[in-house]
């Protein structure tokens, strides 16, 4: 067993509580599904959002979905010139038998541009 | 009035969306789970993409169209019926129309519009649509405590509504999880068999007719002992494996598993009596007296069918019409009104429109949809052991039971 991290990102349609919930839900669901993560193997989740998103905590959305017993924390994303706007990023740390190469990172909607090398 | 209770609804299909909207209106916190990242995946393919929402038939007619456990549904229908769902959808901005046989469709002929309207209704209130698959329902001392997501995350809930559908068309997400949840909590599941399903037949020549559709034909279904069990009039189609189309799907609901030994007789000319058909043939033959018999049947039968009919009739296609004897002609009349197909089996349940069988309705309170075994556990839709013919009846069952479950969850302690 090793500690590994799974990355994901998604664009958010608008800066509202509903849309931030929907984006968090969609991205988390895909990350968990594609990597077949068990709750018991989750260590922590980190969230960042770009400055233009401030209507809701993505960690609160994750708690509403049911991730109440995983440590969750949110940070502000760096403000880099010409970077993707309206973007939610997640990192989940897990204990896993998988190798780094077997981990599936998930980039959805407009956030696909962040990792063109991973596009499916 | 908002209240503090949280309800988990599993499945964002017809029943789940209806339950969700009903609960939200009553002020509950609702968590609506679906393993798909969009609601109503199966709804989108209903009615050939047009969605036959319900039927304007009255309650007696409804009951007649539900061969399995219709009585269990009385309370659900009286709480929320066909006019209620039509009104609800109209209010959400969906225009509807009525077609032949009382079938109700969206005016746009687009099933997606029905899903959008239902989803709008469902999401109005304190509702979260969560696209995670549910793995298990958690109960303790006969009371529901919540659910576990795939991956094992526990989500507490004061009540759980199971609206996971059947096992047919599993790619839509309805793959039978609800039965597993219920079984684990002590419920019994009656035999799951395909309903409204195409049939495979012994006559392997049907494959040569693949794609041919016969309109205005009549069929009679006989059981193993030769007893008539069903007849119908309408359209059927040939497939490489056997028979399909509306009248065949309906007939399949009258076949008890195993299907082997049942047979269907097709009357190609139900509007003509034996004598009238005889006369018609006589006339056709007189007009084509010097032609080959194959060419004299053009007016009466679809071209594709003629070689098969000649073979079953035992007549050479090159035989000139004037050589056909009276008794040969009589034999043809009998054949055209009685083509026999021996049923081999149902097509697999994955290809069935609905799943027959499900959660034993004896273990569910018909006036609340609540489990008699586990408090706070409710069922709605196709997961129940109820099934109906085509015509919009199956979706109405989902809407009515979903509504009733949503109305029945208790607000306070009891
Ligand atoms: C091709 C086809 C055409 C049809 N046409 C019509 C028609 O025109 N008129 C009519 O009345 N009926 C029609 N039917 C039947 C009708 O679609 C069903 O009876 C009806 O959809 C049942 O509704 P439901 O809500 O019970 O289940 P479904 O609509 O099947 O919804 C169940 C939902 O539960 C979800 N789910 C399952 N397991 C889980 C889990 N573990 N975690 C999370 N979510 C889960 C599924 O993803 C699915 O979205 C048709 C069926 C088919 C296959």
- Taking phi over 0 as left and psi of -120 to 50 as alpha, with beta for the rest, B41 belongs to alpha
How far, rounded to the nearest angstrom, does the alpha carbon of residue B167 sit from its chain's CA centroid?
Answer: 12
In the structure, what pLDDT confidence band is assigned to residue A119 with cuts at 50, 70 and 90?
low
Give B330-376 pLDDT, tens digit per residue.
999 999 999 999 999 999 999 999 999 999 999 999 999 999 999 99
With a cut of 80, say whether residue B92 has pLDDT above it. yes
Task: Please tell me whether residue A45 adopts helix, strand or coil conformation.
Answer: strand
Give B147-204 pLDDT, tens digit per residue.
999 888 999 999 999 999 999 999 999 999 999 999 999 999 999 999 999 999 999 9
| Mean pLDDT, range B132-147, rounded to an integer | 97
Q: Does A21 sit within 8 Å of B132, measured CB to CB?
A: no
Q: Which pLDDT score is estimated for A71?
A: 97
| Mean pLDDT, range A24-51, rounded to an integer | 94
- Angle between helix B82-91 and B111-122 (nearest 10): 80
Which H or E element spans position B63?
helix B59-64
With a cut of 70, say whether residue B74 has pLDDT above it. yes
DSSP states of B100-169? GGGEEEETT--HHHHHHHHHHHHTSSSEEEE---EEEEEEETTEEEEEEETTS-EEE-SEEEE----SSS
Q: Look up the pTM and report it.
A: 0.90
The total number of residues written for chain A in this structure = 120
Mean pLDDT rounded to a whole number for chain B: 95
Can you tell me which atom of ligand 1 is nearest the CA of B392? 11
| Mean pLDDT, range B224-244, rounded to an integer | 95
| Mean pLDDT, range B237-250, rounded to an integer | 95
| Mean pLDDT, range B41-53, rounded to an integer | 96
B243 Cα to chain A: minimum distance (Å): 39
| Mean pLDDT, range B111-131, rounded to an integer | 96
How far, CA to CA in Å, does B76 sit from each of B79, B108, B369, B408?
5, 28, 8, 11
Q: Does A25 sit within 8 Å of B128, measured CB to CB?
A: yes
Nearest C-alpha in B relative to A17: B128
| Mean pLDDT, range B65-72, rounded to an integer | 92
Complex ipTM value: 0.79
Query: Is residue A104 within 8 Å of residue A111, measured between CB atoms?
Result: no
Q: Which pLDDT score is estimated for B14?
A: 98
What is the spatial distance between Cα B278 and Cα B307, in angstroms, rounded to a whole number?
20
With a cut of 60, say whether residue B414 has pLDDT above it. no
* Residue in A8, A22, A37, A66 to test binding to B, most B beta-carbons within 10 Å: A66
Nearest C-alpha in B relative to A70: B153
């Amino acid at each position: 067993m090793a500690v590994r991290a799974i990355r994901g990102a998604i664009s958010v349609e608008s800066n509202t509580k509903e849309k931030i919930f929907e984006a968090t839900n969609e991205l988390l669901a895909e990350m968990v599904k594609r990597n077949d993560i068990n709750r018991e193997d989750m260590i922590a989740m980190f969230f960042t959002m770009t400055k233009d998103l401030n209507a809701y905590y993505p960690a609160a959305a994750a708690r509403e979905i049911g991730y109440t017993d995983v440590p969750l924390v949110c940070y502000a994303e760096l403000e880099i010139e010409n970077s993707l706007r309206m973007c939610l990023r997640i990192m989940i740390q897990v204990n896993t038998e998988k190798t780094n190469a077997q981990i599936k990172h998930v980039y959805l909607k407009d956030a696909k541009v962040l990792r063109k090398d991973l596009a499916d | 009035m908002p209240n503090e209770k949280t309800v988990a609804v599993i499945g964002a299909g017809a029943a789940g969306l209806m339950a969700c909207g009903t609960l939200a209106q009553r002020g509950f916190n609702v968590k609506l789970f679906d393993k798909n990242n969009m609601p109503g995946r199966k709804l989108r393919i209903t009615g050939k993409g047009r969605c036959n929402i319900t039927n304007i038939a009255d309650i007696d007619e409804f009951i007649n169209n539900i061969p399995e456990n219709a009585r269990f549904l009385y309370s659900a229908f009286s709480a929320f019926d066909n006019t209620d769902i039509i009104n609800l959808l109209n209010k959400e901005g969906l225009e509807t129309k009525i077609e032949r046989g009382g079938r109700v469709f969206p005016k746009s002929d687009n099933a997606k519009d029905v899903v959008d309207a239902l989803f709008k209704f469902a999401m109005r209130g304190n509702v979260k649509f969560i696209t995670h698959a549910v793995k298990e329902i958690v109960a303790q001392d006969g009371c529901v405590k919540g659910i576990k997501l795939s991956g094992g995350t526990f989500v507490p809930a004061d009540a759980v509504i199971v609206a996971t559908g059947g096992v047919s068309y599993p790619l839509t997400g309805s793959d039978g999880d609800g039965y597993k949840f219920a079984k684990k909590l002590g419920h019994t599941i009656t035999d799951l068999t395909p309903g409204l399903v195409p049939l495979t037949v012994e006559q392997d020549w049907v494959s040569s007719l693949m794609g041919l559709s016969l309109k205005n034909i009549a069929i009679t279904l006989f059981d193993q002992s030769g007893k008539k069990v069903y007849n119908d009039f309408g359209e059927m189609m040939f497939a490489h494996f056997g028979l399909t189309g509306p009248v065949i799907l309906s007939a399949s609901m009258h076949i008890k598993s195993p299907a082997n030994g049942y047979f269907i007789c097709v009357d190609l000319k139900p509007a003509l009596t034996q004598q009238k058909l005889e006369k018609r043939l006589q006339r056709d033959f007189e007009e084509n007296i010097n032609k080959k018999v194959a060419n004299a049947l053009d007016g009466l039968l679809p071209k594709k069918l003629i070689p098969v009919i000649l073979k079953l009739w035992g007549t050479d296609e090159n035989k000139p019409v004037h050589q056909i004897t009276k008794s040969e002609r009589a034999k043809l009349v009998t054949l055209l009104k009685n083509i026999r197909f021996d049923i081999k089996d149902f097509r697999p349940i994955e290809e069935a429109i609905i799943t027959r069988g499900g959660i034993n309705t004896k273990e569910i309170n018909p006036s609340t949809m609540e489990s008699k075994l586990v408090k706070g556990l409710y069922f709605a839709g196709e997961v129940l052991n109820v099934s109906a013919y085509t015509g919009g009846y199956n979706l109405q069952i989902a809407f009515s039971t979903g509504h009733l479950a949503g109305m029945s969850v208790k607000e306070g302690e009891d």
